Structure 1
Amino acid sequence: MGRQAGRTTPLDALALGARERFLLSLVWGSRGLGSFDPDVLADELPQPRIDAILQLFGDEVARHAPRSRLPAGTAESRPAATDRIGPLERRYTDFYRVTREQHGPDAPSLVAQSFDALLADAYDPRQLQDLDERHLAMLWNAARTVAGLAPSPRHVEAMEAVFDESVRRSRGQPPAERVRAMRNALLASHRFDAARQLGVRYPTAALSPLPAFIEPTGDHSSMRHGIWRMSGDGSRLQYESLDLRGTRIVVTAGCHFSLDAVADISADPVLGPAFAGHAYWLMQPPGVEDIDAVREWNRRFSRAPALMIHDREGWPMLADWPMPEFHVLQDGRIVDSLTGWPRGDDGRQREALMGMLRRAGLIGHVRPRRAP
């Protein structure tokens, strides 16, 4: 899409590099556009231009238009560099391509390698001061992406460098969205005190209060299968190591399909008791998974509480994280798995899950439920 036969389209409002990234982000399904990256549009265009582009894909897609992040009063049409991509933007776009193309368990390390090779040298504070807002937003997005996938100290520090420049330019009032993302990165890298202080330092971001993180005394780096267990009132997260001896069910969770699964399974007369006695519903670490979402999950499903893992390294058997995915473990080793929880499938997934639990000896043979 774009300029054809001398005609213009709404996509022409995007500078050349942004247009390339937006097109790279499009994911098509059997019914049309399945998803797109809203950040590309939100960082580049005023609201009317965003709405016009998404209207190209129909009313259903246009309903999901992101809010523009440009300052109020930004001109309807920004001065566009449509004929060329500068060196820094070219490097960023090459990195962006890697993030869209890499999937599976090796993706975090490959994205981190691409970031280190293409962009790591751009985060010197003195260089950041010379960038315009558009290029600063690119570097923020790149650092946020790599820190979210592989929260190593150097990647979080790259985020902090851009964040500090945002604070300088905003005279102490950075955008709430950046404060929230910065706190999540600090949480994911286990810098809990720094994350808490961020919320205190920038009250206008209106961040929800963090729970107390209760860690064991002494060196716990060798503890396996570490998780954070939330207290009933949501005010504390207690670090512990899960006991995976014997036969256990482990569910990788964290999306609305997982909520469908826990609601259906908790109400199920056969699956409910089996899961209550043997299952762990696992979510990603604090900062990767939203703590408030875990609070709400546990409020609704107290008999199937969500447990946030401490880090991915402590769960090497869970190389990927489909949501939900059900695993039967024998003494910590996966012996059977089932992915997904589609509603409206006439109970086929429930029967498949029942079969998996029968094979593991967690439920007996029961008569099929009659259709209502």
Structure 2
Amino acid sequence: MLRIAVAATLMLLVSGAHAADTSPITTPEALASYLRGTPIERSPLGALSPGARKRFLAILEFGDRGVRGIDVGDLDQELTHDQAVAVLALFGAQAYGDGLGLSPASYARRQAERRADAKRRGCVVTRCPESVVERRYDALVLADRPAPDAARHAAIAADYARLFDSELKPVALKGASAPDLRLLARAARVALEADPDGRAADDLTRVLDVMQSRGMVGDAEFRPLYRARVTTRQFDAARALAQTHPGMKMPALPKLEGETSTTGQPTVLRVSKDGRRMHREAIALDVPLRIVVVAACHFSEDAARAIAADPRLDALFHQHAVWLAAEGTPPADAAAWNRAFPTQPIDVAWRDREWSMLDSWAMPTYYVFRHGREVARWRGWLGLDALRAELTKAGVPY
């Protein structure tokens, strides 16, 4: 079903899972106590490189019920599946480890790369200081950017260009170590998520070409480039990339049919249930009632399922609502949603910037418009009673 990464760091919500054999770490104070009392070589965290461990701990988010946000990017890039699960278990979040981690062969290669880099730099592999590239990567991913999505994405793109311009020149790439090349690729993916129209796609292409020449990557690592071409609606370029790198194993893109006059209205990519066809369609907001639900996560699926099962709400949302996924949502995921919820189909924003009236793409967020003017909004899925209460406050009959 539909799943979207909140950012290039793959943020996951944690909802109070518990470790089987020990109490999970649920507060910053408990984490500080654990770190003081546990030698790093005896902790699952010790499997991470010093820089990765610093980033992982820095981005942890604690809430009233324990850890509520975990960045799994470094776990996925440095650890085996079992090692990643062991780290998550410290916080009662081992259930979120499905699919994480490197294969044994990939893990062995990454370890060999780290040892070779440490030997070249003359340091002990477990205590090597961060390279210039890693410090720049830290600055990119650890910066605090509290702003509406559009402003935050612009800031990420600007920071990326400022931090990595010199590191991405051909001479620098040729001499870069394997660990630095992997960090440069990750930095480009972060920027690509924030600004798919910017320079990051070309940068990532160059980095991956160097890595491929060293036997460091296969076709699968080109998937972010494919997704960027789809996101920017360069469908022919995406198909060509899939042919050049068949190991990506991407599903065939639907055929784009027809032409649409947007008439100044925001538009969507509407995908058929069978995933074979898609077309661009304008959405009118200057109507007596329009509900826009920013959706695609599993909470959104829960909402759609509950709404579809309630005849009155199903009729209301079918007539007046647009379930809207962000531009980066794969057409195949939209088709899967539409098969699952035929009375509550989802559309994909043709481009997010056309929907500038939505200042947050957090999921699910509900916007209520009357004659083009926003009159209400709320966020989250707390069940049908809470939804009915919000609709009543917004003056929406059902």
**TM-score, normalising length: structure 2:** 0.79
Find the counterpart in structure 2 of residue 117 from structure 1: 162
Contact residue 86 and residue 94 of structure 2 kept, 8 A: no
1:166 equivalenced with 2:211 (yes/no): yes
1:315 aligns with 2:324: no
Q: Distance in 2 between matches of 1:116 and 1:127?
A: 15
Given the alignment, which residue of 272, 295, 307 partners 2:335?
A: 295
**Which digits, 9 at most, give the CA deviation of each residue in 1:211-235, with x for residues without a partner?**
1233628xx6874301111134321
SS of 2:268's equivalent? strand
Residue number among 342, 366, 372 corresponding to 1:326 in the alignment: 366
- Equivalent in 295, 298, 317 of residue 275 of structure 1: 317
Q: 1:57 to 1:323 in 2, by over 3 A?
A: closer
Aligned to 2:74: 40
Aligned partner (choices 323, 340, 344) of residue 380 of structure 2:
340
1:224 maps to a residue whose letter is: Q
Structure 1 residue 191 displacement after superposition: 1.9
Q: How does 1:1-372 map to 2 (within 5 A)?
A: 8-10=41-43, 11-47=45-81, 49-58=83-92, 60=94, 63-64=97-98, 66-68=100-102, 71=106, 73-74=108-109, 79=115, 80=125, 82-98=127-143, 101-102=145-146, 104-105=148-149, 106-170=151-215, 174-176=218-220, 178-214=221-257, 216=259, 223-246=264-287, 247-285=289-327, 288-343=328-383, 347-356=384-393, 359-360=395-396, 362-363=397-398
- 2:121 corresponds in structure 1 to none
Partners of 2:324 and 2:349 within 8 A in 1: yes
Pair 160,331 (structure 1): closer, same or farther in 2 beyond 3 Å: farther
Q: What residue number does 1:370 align with?
A: none
Aligned 8 A contact 1:47 1:67 in 2: yes
Instruction: Find the aligned partners of 2:42 and 2:145 in 1 and give their Cα distance.
Output: 27
CA distance in 2, matches of 1:274, 1:4: 56
Distance 1:306 1:51 in 2: 33
> Residue 250 of structure 1 contacts residue 279 of structure 1 at CA under 8 Å; is this kept in 2?
yes
CA drift at 1:19: 1.8
- Number of matched residues? 351
Secondary structure of the residue aligned to 2:253 is coil
Residues 213-258 of structure 1 deviation map (CA, whole Å, 9 limit, x = unaligned):
33628xx687430111113432122112112222211111111111
Q: 1:26-68 deviations in whole A, cap 9, x for unaligned?
A: 2223333333222212322445544443443347367457222
CA 20–356 in structure 1, closer or farther in 2 if over 3 Å, else same: same
Residues 61 and 230 of structure 1: CA distance in aligned 2, closer, same or farther (over 3 Å): closer
My pick for the range that moved more, 294-303 or 31-40, is: 31-40
Q: How far apart are 1:88 and its partner, in Å?
A: 1.5
* Structure 1 partner of 2:28: none
**Which residue does the alignment assign to 2:118?**
none
Amino acid at match of 1:290: P
Report what 1:367 is aligned to: none
* Alpha carbons 2:79, 2:101 under 8 Å: kept: no
Paired amino acid for 1:207: M
For residue 126 of structure 1, report the CA deviation from its aligned partner.
Answer: 3.8
Partners of 1:2 and 1:83 lie apart in 2 by 20
Displacement after TM superposition at 1:83 (Å):
4.3
Displacement of 1:127 in angstroms is 2.4
Structure 1 residues 113-132: Cα deviation after superposition (integer angstroms, max 9, x where no partner): 21111113322244223223
Cα distance in 1 between the residues matched to 2:152 and 2:80: 33
Moved more, 10-19 or 328-337: 10-19
The aligned amino acid for 2:304 is V
Q: Which runs of 5+ in 2 are unaligned?
A: 1-33, 116-124
Report the Cα distance in structure 1 between the residues aligned to 2:306 and 2:387, rounded to whole angstroms: 9
Q: Is the 8 Å Cα contact of residues 51 and 65 (structure 1) preserved in structure 2?
A: no
Residue 290 of structure 1: how far off its partner (Å): 2.6
Normalised by the length of structure 1, the TM-score is 0.84
Task: Classify 1:152/1:274 alpha carbon distance in 2 versus 1 (closer, same or farther; 3 Å).
Answer: same
Task: Label 1:116 to 1:59 Cα distance change in 2 as closer, same or farther (>3 A).
Answer: closer
What is the alpha-carbon root mean square deviation over aligned residues?
A: 2.8
What runs of 5+ residues in structure 1 fail to find an aligned partner? 364-372
Match of 2:7 in 1: none
Aligned-partner Cα distance in 2 for 1:215–1:151:
25
| 130 and 109 in structure 1: CA distance in 2 versus 1, 3 angstrom threshold | same
For the 8 Å contact 2:363–2:380, the answer to whether it is kept is yes
Conserved? CA contact 2:218–2:247, under 8 Å:
no
